[in-house]
Amino acid sequence: MKIPTDKEILETIFEHYKTSFADYEIREDRASKIYVPIDCQKIAGLLKTDRDIIFGRLYYHLERKHGYAQSDDSKVHFFALKVGNDAKCVNFPLLVSVLAGLQEEGKRFWFATAASFLSLGVAIGSLVVAIAALKGS
């Protein structure tokens, strides 16, 4: 069993439910446009993990991390157990926002890593030149 990252889970949900989110005006087959019902078993299968891992990450981790209360005390859920008659729903616009943030963090990490390796290369090159200059004199 694989342990997927938050980014992998959210990317998989995004890829498999973006059409459902976009088609709401045409089909109106759910209680709310922004809350899209998902199949944890399907997502788990795609990520080669257990469905309870997917459910747990969404409900116990990501909901607590990204769900919030507004100033009037109404709740904005990241992952809701039930919205109208729909079960296990993600707040799709919020999911997209969180996913964009994770992707941006990933880009910053790789940029910093590449800059570090470039700096290391310059330092090693300088050391080689300095040693060669010492041997040459």
CATH of the domain at 64: 1.10.10
pLDDT for position 109: 67
- Give domain status of residue 73, yes or no: yes
d(CA 100, CA 57): 18
pTM of the predicted model as reported, rounded to 2 decimal places? 0.78
Tokens of 107: 């880009």
DSSP reduced 3-state for 88 = strand
How many whole angstroms from its chain centre is CA 100? Answer: 7
Name the helix (H) or strand (E) containing 37: strand 35-37
> Is a pLDDT exceeding 80 seen at residue 110?
no
Q: Which of 5-19, 34-48, 122-136 has the lowest mean pLDDT?
A: 122-136
Question: How buried is residue 46: exposed, middle or buried, by Cβ count under 10 Å (0-12/13-18/19+)?
Answer: middle
Domain assignment of residue 12, yes or no: yes
Question: Which amino acid appears at position 115 of this protein?
Answer: A
Give yes or no for a contact between 21 and 92, defined as CB atoms under 8 angstroms apart. Answer: yes
Q: Is 11 a domain residue?
A: yes
Residue 32 lies in a domain: yes
User: By residue range, what is the domain housing residue 84?
Assistant: 6-108
Report the pLDDT value the prediction gives residue 40, as an integer from 0 to 100.
98
Q: Rounded CA gap, 42 and 11, in Å?
A: 14
Task: Give yes or no for residue 97 having a pLDDT over 70.
Answer: yes
* Structural domains counted in the chain: 1
Q: What is the pLDDT of residues 59-86, one digit of tens each?
A: 999 999 999 999 999 999 999 999 999 9
Degrees to nearest 5, angle at CA 110 with 108 and 115 = 95
Region 102-118: mean pLDDT is 76
